[in-house]
Amino acid sequence: MTVTAETSRSPAPAVARRAKRSRLLPRVAPYLQAAPLTVTLLLFLLVPILTIVAVSFWDYDSVRIYPDFVLTNYVELLTSPVTWKTYLNTLKYAALAWAATLGIGFTVAYFLAFHIRSTTWQMVLFLLCTIPFWTSNIIRMISWIPFLGRNGLLNSGLISAGIIEHPLEFLLFSDFAVVLAFVHLYTLFMVVPIFNSMMRIDRSLVEAARDGGASGAQILWNVILPLTKPGIAIGSIFVVTLVMGDFITVRLMSGGQSASIGLMIANEISLLQYPAAAANATVLLAVVLIMVAAMLRVVDIRKEL
């Protein structure tokens, strides 16, 4: 902007130069406009990631790390059966959490978008969904523990109601507890984008389908679902990446008995094994990027944004 102002004030002999400049400027301007973001991303995203990748090739002992170029971190990581088991376990959590959040998220969004007629009520109920998210997620997680415990509210309730005789042990410190916490924590990430996609659906399409003789299920399957795909994709990306990188939910809800990749990295960091943690993080990043790329392959979210 300043440049333009200056150019316009410059005297006649500078016309040739100005012409040259004005040809240059339109080409440069977009780059200049993008520069702040580029610099920010370079500094705070790319440089740290490259550092992590670089450190993943370093060597280490129990207290120090040594700049080097060794592949042992990757060899140890990829040849260990624990890694594979842990990835499998993490993927299992991701799949279960994804399926459950999708089911619940889609239902809630559908109810909000198509069954609540007044916009005011839609907003009120939507805000109601977000209320639990005003508390810290660790609090929301921990509050499950006294609820699900052996002598917790649920077990004592069931016992006094005469439904069960012995407390249900699988409720807490189990895979069930982990997935439950994930679903509780992340369903909103599914509700919001799906709700957003659904609100953009032209209601006349639904009417047209109904006039054409489609049943409710057919409308849902052939009209609403395809048009909601971008929202589902965005929600899925949120949920899957959050679950893949999580460590505290798994640790607290499994009672330290299950592993996830995030937990594995956290353990390595706590034992000063930074290069091993960096290698692990690099592999995790690659895996998550592949998963996101695959999701984007299935659904073109740009179409909707």
Closer to other proteins at the Cβ: 156 or 218? 156
CB of 92 to other proteins, least distance (A): 13
Regarding 89 and contact with other proteins (CB under 8 A), the answer is: yes
Contact 182, 202 (CB under 8 A): no
Q: How far apart are alpha carbons 268 and 276 in whole angstroms? A: 7
Tell me: does residue 257 bind other proteins (CB under 8 A): yes
Using CB under 8 A, pick the residue from 55, 56, 58, 86 that binds other proteins: 86
Give the residue from 158, 150, 147 showing the smallest Cα distance to 180: 147
Kindly state whether residue 149 participates in binding other proteins, applying the rule CB under 8 A.
yes
**Per rule CB under 8 A, is residue 85 in the interface with other proteins?**
yes
Q: Compute the distance between CA of residue 29 and CA of residue 6 in angstroms, rounded to an integer.
A: 15
Q: Which stretch binds other proteins (CB under 8 A): 9-17, 82-90, 96-104, 235-243?
A: 82-90
First vs last C-alpha separation in the chain: 29
Alpha-helix residue ranges (DSSP H) falling in 169-302: 175-199, 203-211, 216-219, 225-245, 248-253, 261-270, 274-298
Site for other proteins in 167-226 (CB under 8 A): 169, 172-173
Structure token pair of residue 206: 């639904």
Q: How far is CA 163 from CA 37, 92, 147, 157, 281, in A?
A: 59, 31, 17, 9, 46
By beta-carbon proximity to other proteins, the closer residue of 158 and 269 is 269
Residue 223 CA to residue 286 CA, distance in Å, equals 35
The Cα–Cα gap between 195 and 273 comes to 43
**Out of 94, 240, 251, 265, which residue is the one contacting other proteins (CB under 8 A)?**
251
Task: Give least dist CB 163 to other proteins, A.
Answer: 20
Smallest distance, other proteins to C-beta of residue 239, A:
23
Segment interacting with other proteins (CB under 8 A) among 14-22, 228-236, 241-249, 264-272:
264-272
Q: Could you list the residues that contact other proteins (CB under 8 A)? A: 61-64, 76, 80-82, 85-86, 89, 145-146, 149-152, 169, 172-173, 251, 254-259, 264, 267, 269-273
